[in-house]
Amino acid sequence: MKLDDLINGVVFLALGIGIVAYAQSLPTMAQIEYGPGFLPSIVGTGMALAGLVLIVARIWRNAGAVEGGFAFNGNGMRGLLGIGIFLAAIFFYILTADALGFLIVAPILLFVIVYWFERRLKLAIAVGIVGTFLLHTFFYQIMKAPLPWGILIDYSGALTW
């Protein structure tokens, strides 16, 4: 299924603005420079900018045009399985992250998702490893968000970079 990029752009722009507006209404914290609205503000701003890029590209170059505004390209069962794998990955993380730990679950999930959609083994392995490192660094080191250690709790001091 594909929507015209003008529709996609308007939806992303509206969602981004809504997320930023809501994030700004969240309370700030006295102990740290940023509060619970910091990351949603970044995401919302990114979504709004992406929406603007889609709108401008669609109007300026007619890129992403879909006749009638909507098209179904019919990937069939593979497309449905892709959605199922993505949802299963979310549930797998929820069910196993506390027991196994982020550093074990994240590379598995990133590998499976990238391999399913790209079918390139080396890329999936690289994204699994590098993506986990980048996510852990951003959330645990920079944002100070507690990520589950699971069975690696005894090595948490050595695995903190």
Residue at which a domain ends, from 32, 50, 73:
73
Give pTM, 2 decimals: 0.66
The number of distinct structural domains making up the chain is: 2
Residue 76: predicted pLDDT: 66
**What does the H/E/C string look like for the chain?**
CEECHHHHHHHHHHHHHHHHHHHHCCCCCCCCCCCCCHHHHHHHHHHHHHHHHHHHHHHHHCCCCCHHHEECCCCHHHHHHHHHHHHHHHHHHHHHHHHHCHHHHHHHHHHHHHHHHHCCHHHHHHHHHHHHHHHHHHHHHHCCCCCCCHHHHHHCCCCCC
pLDDT range class, residue 5, cuts 50, 70, 90: confident
pLDDT in tens, 86-130: 899 999 999 999 999 999 999 999 999 999 989 999 999 999 999
Mark whether 153 and 131 lie in a shared domain: yes
**Contact call for residues 114 and 129 (beta carbons, < 8 A):** no
| Average of per-residue pLDDT values in the chain | 87
Of residues 160 and 59, the one with the higher pLDDT is 59
Residue at which a domain ends, from 73, 92, 112:
73
Residue 123: predicted pLDDT: 97
Residue at which a domain ends, from 73, 89, 114:
73
